[in-house]
């Protein structure tokens, strides 16, 4: 149920945003939008399916040595 709602919402966001960017030939913004949309789709899909996701705080700690 949640996966179907997630797919519907992701498709709706894509259907609302992408045509406008294509029409105005905003290629850079379209590329950035598609990258972030794909990342969000992957992470939210993994969360809905119950996959073990890494903690972003661990990455920040490793990078900055906090």
Is the separation of the CB atoms in 11 and 27 below 8 Å?
Answer: no
Cα torsion 19, 8, 53, 65: sign = positive
Q: Which pLDDT does position 1 carry in this prediction?
A: 85
Q: What pLDDT band is residue 66 in, cutting at 50, 70 and 90?
A: low
Q: Which pLDDT does position 56 carry in this prediction?
A: 84
Q: What global pTM score does this model have?
A: 0.77
Q: Which pLDDT does position 13 carry in this prediction?
A: 95
């Amino acid at each position: 149920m949640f996966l179907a709602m997630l797919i519907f919402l992701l498709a709706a966001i894509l259907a609302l945003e992408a045509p406008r960017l294509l029409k105005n030939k905003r290629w850079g913004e379209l590329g950035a939008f598609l990258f972030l949309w794909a990342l969000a789709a992957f992470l939210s899909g993994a969360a809905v399916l119950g996959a073990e996701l890494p903690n972003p705080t661990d990455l920040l700690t490793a990078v900055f040595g906090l």
